[in-house]
Structure 1
């Protein structure tokens, strides 16, 4: 008799047939990282499993797929911190990127005592839905590699941008926004770690995300606490960056917001999380849910303030 994975059974009920926010209502999902592959969007997020009186409890990442951003198919759990032998927990923010037919999963985890603090690992798969395996056998970034702060959690929230020339860049950070080149193998840094000056990413908290439109690079990030979303722009991936102001107000009932931005089938979308869902009980800062709303540009290339809605993509454009 074939035994079904309990997680897959649970997620089988998480597919959403409408476009209202939040988009997944049967499990708590956080830190959305959307990836466009052809005519499909793959959404990677951490699963919040905290009880109402607990703080973060995140033991795995989840993957969902959609071809219309309205109906989401659960793809199971492609990776967990246990897949990194050197990690001791915490499925914090991540991002998956494709290069040369392989998919690279950059993930925030807690390192063991050999390198205490948060760290960034990278796993690889031939499929966007995994399974992913540790590509290095060690962390890509550890807390002792960055010196701009004294905290142990500044090496979090990785995001990767592959530029038009094929060069991949890793951005990450808390309190400071770090960046570095990646070697062509996507599993090693190529050169020194750089820090974006504070005035270029005003009041940076965490959650950097890079996208590009019509020759302009956009660096969005969480700012303040409770977090809002701000952004800066540049004509080069290495800056200098020009601060452009707020992009989104704080998310409802959540201290964090963690955005991801994509263009899909000619339209632009803003992914984020809030704490408004009941799945099956009250959400909050440690029991979050992913949402999507539309993103629009002004004629000068700046971004209009995001309107967070309960209707989601069912709302009038």
Structure 2
């Protein structure tokens, strides 16, 4: 979920030429859909804008966000949200993020040609879905690819569904019902070296996590998180069953602690969890990274176990252009990369573009802060 703050793109970026972006990247589109934003709808700009950004958009003929990247069979596949213009007014619940389908993207290597494989899943093909197809993730096991997605059901409550395909680019076929025990948004699936798989999920404000504090959905709960010196609300994690479609036991809280071993507080808005969780493993340690939402940072915490508790360590990425960002982290050809988004192309927080840059670490495994 991405909430409004109306941070505007600098004039040079808004004046920028998509022709230049097209020259800097080669994008092959295999399928066009009615939901695709035409290139003419994006702003034009001059070459002076390019140096101010750490990296350039990976694709410019549609708006994309929340990139979940994976390496399948040696190739990079990206599972982003597909932003569209709906004309809906902005609010803190994120109703103006009214995405309807997913495009899956791929490339052989970082900096290589990007392929848009077209629509892989549409809201109309999810039997239980109502609206707002937000940030997805994917996994592979036993010859099947799994696409995990949050969408509001017909009662306007966010649930997480799963769809399957025999190819990483889809199309995907959704299950008839959402995953039992799932709620809120931003699923991220991590598969450990022992074969076990875990799903991390949750998001505050429009992501509705604050309405699940009692274990069931409370429509009368506050729109926003608790504040003050009370423990922050955290993401949830559930171990996935062998079929990758169900939880193997109850979901639990992803506890994030400070350097003294105490839970982060709701008032600690530059460190507490807000949304967009991701887990990766490096040198035997588990890195849980996430967005702080209204303070616009990507931060991380580390644990010896995939389920935590995690100890806060620092900032991965300073604020991007736009309200916030949503990321994923992968290793490819011996290097680590972070995929993220900003609003370079549109200057509008609900019309974003995905990017990638290298993720660097210090000798002790800590992550160097990126200034985008």
Q: Shorter-chain TM-score category?
A: 0.7 to 0.9
Once the two structures are TM-superposed, the CA of residue 198 in structure 1 deviates from its matched residue by 4.8
Equivalent runs, 1:60-79 vs 2, <5 Å = 60-70=101-111, 71-79=113-121
Instruction: Give the corresponding residue for 1:171.
Output: 200
Equivalent runs, 1:64-213 vs 2, <5 Å = 64-70=105-111, 71-113=113-155, 116-135=156-175, 137-141=176-180, 155-175=184-204, 176-199=234-257, 202-213=271-282
Cα gap change, 1:293 to 1:75, in 2 (>3 Å)? same
Secondary structure of the residue that 2:33 maps to in structure 1? helix
Equivalent runs, 1:275-286 vs 2, <5 Å = 275-277=343-345, 282-286=346-350
Instruction: Give the corresponding residue for 2:292.
Output: 223
**2:42 matched to 1:7?**
no
Preserved contact between residue 171 and residue 208 of structure 1 (Cα < 8 Å): yes
Once the two structures are TM-superposed, the CA of residue 90 in structure 1 deviates from its matched residue by 1.3
Once the two structures are TM-superposed, the CA of residue 11 in structure 1 deviates from its matched residue by 8.9
Once the two structures are TM-superposed, the CA of residue 81 in structure 1 deviates from its matched residue by 2.0
Instruction: Give the corresponding residue for 1:264.
Output: 332
Select the residue among 43, 47, 50 that pairs with 2:78: 43
Preserved contact between residue 179 and residue 193 of structure 1 (Cα < 8 Å): yes
The number of equivalent residue pairs is: 284
Cα gap change, 1:52 to 1:89, in 2 (>3 Å)? closer
Preserved contact between residue 341 and residue 354 of structure 2 (Cα < 8 Å): yes
Preserved contact between residue 37 and residue 63 of structure 2 (Cα < 8 Å): no
Secondary structure of the residue that 1:204 maps to in structure 2? coil
TM-score under structure 2 normalisation? Answer: 0.71
Secondary structure of the residue that 2:250 maps to in structure 1? coil
Q: Which runs of 5+ in 1 are unaligned?
A: 14-18, 147-154, 309-317
Once the two structures are TM-superposed, the CA of residue 26 in structure 1 deviates from its matched residue by 1.4
Secondary structure of the residue that 2:148 maps to in structure 1? strand
Preserved contact between residue 159 and residue 171 of structure 1 (Cα < 8 Å): yes
TM-score under structure 1 normalisation? Answer: 0.83
Cα gap change, 1:228 to 1:51, in 2 (>3 Å)? same
Cα distance in 2 for partners of 1:173, 1:62 equals 22
Instruction: Give the corresponding residue for 2:312.
Output: 243
Cα distance in 2 for partners of 1:305, 1:6 equals 37
Q: Which runs of 5+ in 2 are unaligned?
A: 1-29, 40-53, 90-95, 205-233, 258-262, 265-270
Instruction: Give the corresponding residue for 1:315.
Output: none
Query: What CA RMSD, in Å, does the superposition of the two structures yield over aligned residues?
Result: 2.5
Preserved contact between residue 28 and residue 288 of structure 1 (Cα < 8 Å): yes
Cα distance in 2 for partners of 1:193, 1:227 equals 27
Preserved contact between residue 37 and residue 84 of structure 2 (Cα < 8 Å): no
Preserved contact between residue 234 and residue 242 of structure 1 (Cα < 8 Å): yes
Once the two structures are TM-superposed, the CA of residue 51 in structure 1 deviates from its matched residue by 5.2
Cα gap change, 1:20 to 1:238, in 2 (>3 Å)? closer
